[in-house]
């Protein structure tokens, strides 16, 4: 169990095809940098400068120190890729709830969390939408909210200024776009970024002339 009280783990239940560390879908591997230092197993990092991994792969279990829906979705994708048709989720209730949701949407059976009727309905609707090809997360379009677009432009400017490696830069920007889109789908609203004020002051020569 991770030290962070907000985290938890996902492990297989029963026979599995693979428990090899690093055995992950190509789409997931492209989103992370990996390193075996800093703790047990293989750490999956979203950025070279971030000290804490999104999650760690210990072979027979996937551990995260926080409840991050994006990381949990990728952990579920790894579990399915390895043939873990049934998984157990452990940790705080919020972690188990999000892990249950991610695993169910990946087509896995889940133990360790008892969902509410509304949570079951939500997942069933998402599964039906996916069957019809209209799943909002699978077919997510461009961000159109003006305030969110302005916020994303600020993030892009900062990342392009500070991250030199093209692959890392694009990975970070893709994750930022996805995170903002997820927040918008959940009803979040963004305040427009403040425009910098332009202050014009007289030069020293102008001030001298005015005396």
pLDDT in tens, 179-203: 777 777 666 777 765 654 545 555 5
pLDDT at 33: 94
Cα separation, 89 vs 99, whole angstroms:
7
Q: Render pLDDT for 117-137 as a digit per residue (tens, 0 to 9).
A: 999 999 998 888 777 664 555
Closest residue by Cα to residue 179 from 89, 46, 56, 63 = 46
If one compares 81 and 151, the residue with the highest pLDDT of the two is 81
User: For the chain, what are the domain ranges?
Assistant: 8-132, 141-211
The pair of three-digit structure tokens given for residue 72, joined into one six-digit string: 């949990």
Q: Is the pLDDT of residue 30 over 60?
A: yes
pLDDT at 180: 79
Which residue, chain included where needed, has tokens 């694009």? 170
| pTM score, whole prediction | 0.64
- The DSSP result for 68-107, as a single string, is -HHHHHHHHHHHHHTT--EEEEEESHHHHHHHHHHHHHTT
Q: Give the mean pLDDT of the chain.
A: 82
């Amino acid at each position: 169990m991770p030290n962070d009280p907000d985290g938890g783990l996902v492990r297989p239940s029963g026979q599995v095809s693979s428990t090899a560390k690093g055995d992950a879908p190509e789409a997931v591997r492209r989103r992370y940098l990996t390193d075996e230092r800093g703790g047990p197993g293989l750490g999956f990092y979203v950025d070279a400068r971030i000290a804490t991994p999104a999650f760690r792969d210990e072979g027979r279990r996937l551990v995260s120190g926080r409840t991050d829906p994006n990381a949990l979705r990728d952990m579920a994708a790894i579990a399915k890729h390895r043939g873990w048709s049934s998984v157990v989720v452990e940790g705080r209730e919020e972690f188990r709830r999000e892990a249950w949701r991610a695993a169910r949407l990946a087509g896995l059976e889940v133990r360790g969390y008892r969902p509410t009727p509304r949570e079951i309905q939500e997942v069933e609707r998402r599964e039906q939408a996916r069957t019809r090809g209209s799943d909002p997360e699978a077919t997510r379009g461009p961000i159109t909210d003006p305030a969110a677009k302005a916020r994303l432009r600020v993030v892009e400017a900062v990342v392009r200024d500070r991250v030199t490696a093209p692959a890392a830069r694009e990975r970070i920007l893709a994750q930022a776009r996805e995170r903002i889109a997820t927040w918008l789908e959940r009803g979040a609203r963004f305040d427009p970024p403040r425009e910098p004020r332009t202050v014009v002051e007289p030069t020293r020569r102008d001030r001298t002339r005015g005396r």
